[in-house]
Amino acid sequence: MNGRWILGLGALLLVGCSGEATGDDVPLGEATEGGEAALAGEAPAKVLDLTNWKVTLPTGSSEKPKEVTQPSLATFSVDPYFKVNPAGNGVQFRAPTNGVTTSGSGYPRSELREMKAGGKSNASWSTSSGTHTMIIDEAITAVPKKKKHVVAGQIHDANDDVIVIRLEFPKLFVDINGDEGPTLDANYVLGKRFTVKFVASAGKIKIYYNDASSPAYTLSKKTSGCYFKAGAYTQSNCDKEDSCGASNYGEVNIYGLKVTHQ
């Protein structure tokens, strides 16, 4: 992640967030001396601060995908599912259509799940108390060949997904627990970088797209057991595809990730 992007996102944070950060806040990752290219081949935690995250991968045994938590996550990388991208400025998340799924889903993922206390326990918060913000700077870089659907960021509560950013290529839009919300980009081009911000406060969840000062969508929702997720949640599998395997996948690159709880 380069300094220009940090400054740009910092400006966005000043516009979109207020108040003091708490001890559970996750700061932006910092590039090592030598620039972005020096990070290629390093662990993703060198690009993104993953202190309060764990990752679920599309590998493992049936309905028991591999999960990596802290402190192992600090040095973990696996090609091609979870690694620093070749440019060294982001993290590649890839989930093939034949990937292992959780018991609660038929779709594979390479996805971060929010944690707390330095990654020791699951994050769990309420939309009715405090202000909870996640900003992702990302690009969706690949979709499955037939069912071209990928989820690239979400809020989940104790029971189900609440609101997600979804690409049904080429339409990028807000999905509200299976109901289609507003379109963010009607003709999204794979690899196009964008920023999405989730803000949950006072029983409402607001979604901001790129540098907009007004939310693209506001959902009135009082719920608890909430946590953020970010990465590639491929919305297809072998039952949906004509060909299924490692070369047929959804993929997301994340260049910056910031979570605050106030």
Q: What domains can be seen in the chain, in order of their start residue? A: 3-261 (2.60.120.200)
Q: Which of 36, 142, 50, 44 is nearest to 89 (CA)?
A: 36
Nearest CA to 91 out of 109, 79, 101 is that of 79
CB of 237 closer than 8 Å to CB of 101: yes
d(CA 30, CA 16): 21
Residues in contact with 119: Cβ distance below 8 Å, sequence separation at least 6, in sequence order = 50, 51, 52, 53, 54, 69, 70, 71, 73
Full pLDDT tens readout for the chain, 262 residues:
333 333 333 333 333 333 333 334 433 333 333 445 567 779 999 999 999 999 999 999 999 999 999 999 999 999 999 999 999 999 999 999 999 999 999 999 999 999 999 999 999 999 999 999 999 999 999 999 999 999 999 999 999 999 999 999 999 999 999 999 999 999 999 999 999 999 999 999 999 999 899 999 999 999 999 999 999 999 999 999 999 999 999 999 999 999 999 9
What is the tens place of the pLDDT at every residue in 102-155? 999 999 999 999 999 999 999 999 999 999 999 999 999 999 999 999 999 999
* Per-residue pLDDT, 41: 79
In this prediction, residue 39 carries a pLDDT of 76
Q: What pLDDT does 36 receive?
A: 52
Tell me which amino acid residue 169 is: F
Amino acid at 71: P
Q: Assign 3-class secondary structure to the chain.
A: CCHHHHHHHHHHHHHHCCCCCCCCCECCCCCCCCCHHHHCCCCHHHCCCCCCEEEEEEEEECCEEEEECCCHHHHCCECCCEEECCCCCCEEEEEECCCCCCCCCCCCEEEEEEEECCCCEECCECCCCCEEEEEEEEEEEECCCCCCEEEEEEEECCCCEEEEEEEECCEEEEEECCEEEEEEECCCCCCCCEEEEEEEECCEEEEEECCCCCCCEEEECCCCCEEEEEEEEECCCCCCCCCCCCCCEEEEEEEEEEEEEC
What pLDDT, on the 0 to 100 scale, is given for residue 8? 36
pLDDT attached to residue 211: 83
Strand partners, 225: none
What pLDDT was estimated at residue 35?
A: 47
